[in-house]
Structures are given as C-alpha cells and as structure tokens.
Amino acid sequence: MLKSLSISQFVIISSLSVEFVGGLTVLTGETGAGKSILLDALGLILGDDADREAIRQGSEESCIEASFNPPQKHPVWAFLSKQEGMKAAGAELQIKRIIRRAGDEEISVNGNSVQLPFLKELGTYLVEIHGQNANQTFLAPESQLSLLDLFGAYPPAILGNVIKAWDDISRITRELEEERAFFSSAEREKQGIDRVVTAIEKIGINSTTYQDLSAELARLINTRGICELFQSMNAQLIAQSGVENSLVRVDRILTTQTDEVLNNLKVSIKTALEQTRVAISEMRMLTPDYIDVDTSGIGKIEKTLAELKAIATERKVTPEKLFEHYEYLTARLARIRGAPAKIKEFDNKLIKANEVYRNHALILSEERKKAAVRLSAEITAEMPPLKLLSAQVQIEVIENTAKRSARGINEISFTARMNPGMPFSPIAKTASGGELSRLILAVKMILQQVQAVSTLVFDEIDTGIGGAAAAAVGGRISRLADTTQILVITHSPQVASRGDQHLHVSKKTDGTSTRTIVEVLSLEKRIDEVSRMLAGEAITGESLAAASTLIEEARKSAATRKNSGGAKQTTDSSSAQSVPIASVAPLPEVVATSPPSPPAT
C-alpha cells in the first residue's frame, strides 16, 4: 500500500508530508484547497508526464517522494527482480522524482536511477487513480475490452495463441509485400542482368581471371620484347658485319705485326673477342626460352581484358571485383526467376495463417461471451446496493473480422437499461453522470478481486449524487477497502463518514502568503467536518448528531463485516484492514507556504 507522500516546491506547496494507513482514507476540504495537488503529485510518482509550470513560483525544482510496502508476493517484486541492477529496500519501495525548471529531471527507485518509461510501467503495479475524466476512459471500447479480459482470466494460451497467430499474419504479410515489391522492381532490370550474365559466362571467368590474364599479358609482352632484343643483338654480334667478325679481322691484322708497341692492343683485342664469344654463347643458350614462346595470343588476351573492363565500367565495379559481382547478379537473377513461386508460397502460408488466426480468435470470442455473461450478472447484482434497484447491465461481444487485431475479432459494448421494459443501449447514452460513477464503482468492486494493484484512488466519484445513493456509494467503497487501500476525495458526508483515516485539506492566507494545511482529524474533528459537510458552515446540534450517527453506523458496519468474515483479513503490513477511528492519532499540521503576493498598486 501507499505509506507516505512527501511534496516539496510543487504548485503552491512549499513542503508537505502525509502518512497513510490501510483501509479507506478520505480527503475532504473546500474546492481549491489543494486536494487535487496531492493527486497530481502522486501521478508524477506513478510516471505521469511532468509540467514544468507546476514547479512552485520562485523555485527551480520540485521534489516528490513516496514509499510503498507491497506484500512479499505482490507482482511488483517479480517485475523489479527482472531489472538488472535493481535492488529492493527490505519490504518497502521508495520512489523519488525531482523535476527541474531547466527541463531535466531525476527519478530513482530504491536509490537506483531509472528512466520515465520504467516508472510508468512500475506505476501500473502500485496505484490506479480513478480521476474525474475516468468516465470517458471507461467508455472507450478498448478500455471495456481490457476490463472484460481482466475479469475473464482466461488460460494464458487463449490470448497468447491469438497474439502469436496475428504476429504470424503480420510477418507473412510483410514478407509477401516485400517479395511483390521486389519482383515488381526487379522484373524491369531482369533483361539487363540477363545480358550481362550471358556476356560474362561467354568469356568464362573465375575469381582470379582478370588478374591471371593481366599477368599473362605482361609476361608475353615482356617475352616479345626480349625476342626482339635478341634479334637485334644477333644482327650486331654474329652477322657478317657484326662485332665478332670485325674483331676476328682486327685480331688477324694485329697478329702479323711485330712492333712491341702493339702488344697491349693485341691483348685487348683478343680479350674483347673472347668476351664477345662468351656473350654470344650465353645469348644462344637463352634464345630457345624466348624464341620458341608463342606470343601470338597477346591480341586475344588484350581483347578479353578490354571486354571485362567494359562490363566492369558499365556495372560500376572494378574489373578485379567483376566475378564477385557476377555471383551477385546470378543470385539476383535466380531470385527474380523464383519470385513468382515464392509469392505463391507466401500466399498459401497467409491463407493458412488466417485460418489459424480465425480458429484461435473464435475460441477467444467464445470465452469472452461466457465472461461477458458472468460479468454482466455480477455488475447487475451490484446495482441494488448502489441504489440502482432496477438497473441491468448487459455486455455485448460482437464479432467483427473487419477490425481484427492482435486482441481478436471482438468489439465490446457495455449496455444498460436503468428501468424495466426499456431497451438496452450504450451506457454513455443511458446512464446519467451519477449513475455512471456508481456503475464504474460496481465494476471496480468486481475486478479488484483479480486486479494486482493494491491501492485505488477515487477523485470525487460521488459527484452528482447525494442522499441514499451517496450512502450506498460510501458503503460499497468501505467494503472494497476491507481488502484494498482506498483513497477518496469527496464532498459527500455519507462517504466521508466511512473513512478509516480522514485527512482534511485547507488553505489559509494572511494576505501576503497562502498556507495549505493537511490535518489527520481526530474523532471529534471528524464529527465536526462531517457535520459541516451536512449543514454547511453553520454547524447545528442536529448536524452534529447526524454526523455522529453516520460515523457510528459506519464503524458498526465495518465491525459486522469483520466479525462475519465478509472481508478477508490478513496480518500483512500492506493489507487494507479496517482501522478503528479512535486509534487514528492526529498528525501535526503540515503547512505549505506560497510566495508573497505582490504589493497593491
């Protein structure tokens, strides 16, 4: 349950701290005293979006803190245990939120920093605030469907199968649309791809063809150059007018000469002749390796490389990557050719998925129809205690395949008739504001048996009703508070008299500052407050007596329920046990001061 709420620098509140008890807490006070500020602050703790304008004038930040003590088996602990790094603080849950005018904020849970989406999800486990706009929320078809499913408590597979089948339909539909879009666009490029693939296959390449051909071309060109060089050297060295013959003739001439002056020249010429003959011998040894090589394929290789470069340029890839691109094109071409068969396959899968979905959706629909009958009967049974003696509720479950979704094929309509003989019609058209509030309370009475949230907040649920109807609302809320912590903002004395704890919210001003006061009322002050609510500002002996009677009757009714076992009692610290009025000690007044008013001009 909610144990405490502390508010600092928020709207007109400077500093305020409220302690709550189990059971039913009523909040009363004049309109504008600040009751709604407490709910707004609690909403921030539960993940509502922050309004920077709510930061108190003259301050740069607002700080809201709250503590809860859910039972050990409450689902919130399982939720927290799945969050990495999250630590629990004993049996309590501490939430703190600081909102800054600069735009940033800090949120922590048990000292662990968290983000707003996490806080929003956490809040759904802790408190449900039934605000003044909740009637519109209740009337929304999606909300009514959620309420019915919550009450139905179907086996998990019932809803799970529908969700899975819907996910399958969505996935197959997406894949089918993607394949159709691919085929539609790729069909236009098929001819071009086919032409390129054919051209590449005609050449016949592999992953290293371009590199291999380039290397072979370079080798052949080099060989051809060496052959031409050998031919030139042969002409210069061996031919009749070549170097060798010239040196032989010079050597013969010098041999006939006897002058010693020519001795060194004779040696040089002979040496040159010998070296020339060595070079000729080496050249003749190398010549077969080059002269016998066929270099006639150079032209063919050059042509092939030119074709590969042309294709690569057209496809905007490098020649070295052409084979890799060819593999991509062949795979794409295969996909284009196989697309019609794949589209047909997806069509068949979609037909089967729709059949599976329809079967599961119909099973869910039947479960909803059974749950609707039970819930209609239970809500109708709650009508007489709420002074709607002839009212009947009928929940219609309509199958509409045109609006199918992951939640099934059903549209839900809560209908009612407030008087016998009248036709059933949608609640929004049938029930008045006061009747609708009581109807929602009846739904809460039933659904709280299966709902995980342990604290409910009602903001002026008694608006538009009084007298016996208000007394009936107070009685049903009190009964609901036997097992659930309830906070009620009320202007009804019949509801206020039922409280296990009574908080009075008031606002006082001395002309320069405004103080908001939250006071836990003693029994005597409770009687005075209920008396004021009955009679107005002028409290009379009759109103005091009436107030005492209302409070005493509420105490007796609670005691009777407890003794008869009508309310489930528990020793857990978070249970909503009825608390005797006399045991609620008043807390000191907590004052929140507003900034001084500007001087009069």
Residue 278 has pLDDT above 70, yes or no: yes
Q: What is the pLDDT of residue 239?
A: 67
Helix ranges, 238-321 (H)? 243-255, 263-291, 298-315
The pLDDT confidence band at residue 168, using thresholds 50, 70 and 90, is very high
Across the range 214-240, mean pLDDT stands at: 81
Across the range 427-454, mean pLDDT stands at: 78
554: exposed, middle or buried (C-beta count within 10 Å: 0-12, 13-18, 19+)?
buried
Q: What's the rounded Cα separation, in Å, for the pair 383 and 54?
A: 40
CB distance 504 to 518 below 8 Å: yes
Q: What is the pLDDT of residue 577?
A: 31
List Cβ<8 Å contacts ≥24 apart for 493-496: 493/530, 493/533, 493/534, 493/547, 493/550, 494/462, 494/466, 494/467, 494/470, 494/550, 495/26, 495/462, 495/470, 496/26, 496/28, 496/529, 496/530, 496/533
The pLDDT confidence band at residue 419, using thresholds 50, 70 and 90, is confident
Residue 568 has pLDDT above 70, yes or no: no
Token pair in block for residue 302: 């050059």
Across the range 408-412, mean pLDDT stands at: 93
Looking at the chain, the whole-number percentage of residues with pLDDT higher than 90 is: 33
Q: What's the rounded Cα separation, in Å, for the pair 515 and 10?
A: 13
Residue 174 has pLDDT above 70, yes or no: yes
Q: What is the pLDDT of residue 19?
A: 92
Q: What is the pLDDT of residue 293?
A: 66
The pLDDT confidence band at residue 355, using thresholds 50, 70 and 90, is very high
Q: What is the pLDDT of residue 135?
A: 58
Matching residue, tokens 């899975």 = 164
Q: What is the pLDDT of residue 107?
A: 93
Residue 484 has pLDDT above 90, yes or no: no
Residue 579 has pLDDT above 60, yes or no: no
The pLDDT confidence band at residue 557, using thresholds 50, 70 and 90, is confident
Q: What is the pLDDT of residue 447?
A: 80
Q: What's the rounded Cα separation, in Å, for the pair 509 and 414?
A: 47
Q: What's the rounded Cα separation, in Å, for the pair 9 and 147?
A: 37
Estimate to the nearest angstrom the gap between the alpha carbon of 596 and the chain centroid.
44
The percent of the chain in helix, strand and coil, each rounded to the nearest 5, is: 55, 15, 25
pLDDT in tens, 287-302: 666 666 677 788 899 9
Distances (CA, A) of 100 to 9, 26, 46, 110, 452: 11, 31, 18, 21, 33
The pLDDT confidence band at residue 576, using thresholds 50, 70 and 90, is very low
Across the range 312-335, mean pLDDT stands at: 92
Token pair in block for residue 72: 């050990």
Q: What's the rounded Cα separation, in Å, for the pair 279 and 465?
A: 127
Across the range 488-502, mean pLDDT stands at: 90
Q: Is 101 left (phi over 0), alpha (psi -120 to 50) or beta?
A: alpha
Which strand ranges, in their side-by-side order, compose the sheet holding 112-113?
13-19, 2-10, 61-68, 93-100, 105-109, 112-113
CB distance 22 to 595 below 8 Å: no
Distances (CA, A) of 75 to 122, 125, 450: 10, 7, 12
DSSP string computed for 233-259 = HHHHHTSTTSHHHHHHHHHHHHHT---
CB distance 35 to 505 below 8 Å: yes
Q: Is 11 left (phi over 0), alpha (psi -120 to 50) or beta?
A: left
Residue 527 has pLDDT above 50, yes or no: yes
Handedness of CA 307, 312, 313, 318 (dihedral sign): negative
Please, what is the angle between helix 141-152 and helix 322-382, to 10°?
Answer: 80
Neighbours of 170 (CB within 10 A): 12
Residue 263 has pLDDT above 80, yes or no: yes
Position with higher pLDDT, 224 vs 65: 65
pTM over 0.85: no
Residue type present at position 111 = G
Residue 428 has pLDDT above 80, yes or no: no
Distances (CA, A) of 341 to 180, 345, 568: 11, 6, 64
Across the range 92-115, mean pLDDT stands at: 90
Matching residue, tokens 């040196």 = 247
Residue 431 has pLDDT above 80, yes or no: no
Beta bridge partners of residue 97, listed in sequence order:
64, 107
Distances (CA, A) of 294 to 81, 136, 210: 81, 94, 21
Q: What is the pLDDT of residue 556?
A: 87
Across the range 261-288, mean pLDDT stands at: 83
Q: What's the rounded Cα separation, in Å, for the pair 246 and 240?
A: 8
Please list, in sequence order, all residues whose beta carbon lies within 8 angstroms of the beta carbon of residue 258, skipping any fewer than 6 positions away: none
Closest Cα partner for 370 from 142, 154, 165?
154
The pLDDT confidence band at residue 349, using thresholds 50, 70 and 90, is very high
Across the range 148-171, mean pLDDT stands at: 94
Residue 337 has pLDDT above 80, yes or no: yes
Across the range 71-89, mean pLDDT stands at: 78
DSSP 3-state of 514: strand
Residue 592 has pLDDT above 70, yes or no: no
Which strand ranges, in their side-by-side order, compose the sheet holding 455-459?
127-130, 455-459, 485-489, 24-28, 501-509, 514-520, 590-593
Distances (CA, A) of 38 to 195, 227, 267, 442: 76, 103, 124, 25
Residue 333 has pLDDT above 50, yes or no: yes
CB distance 250 to 283 below 8 Å: no
Residue 178 has pLDDT above 50, yes or no: yes
Q: What is the pLDDT of residue 88?
A: 61
The overall average pLDDT reported for the chain is: 83
Give Dmax (Cα) for the chain.
169
DSSP string computed for 28-67 = E--TTSSHHHHHHHHHHHTTPPP-GGGBPTT-SEEEEEEE
Position with higher pLDDT, 547 vs 244: 547
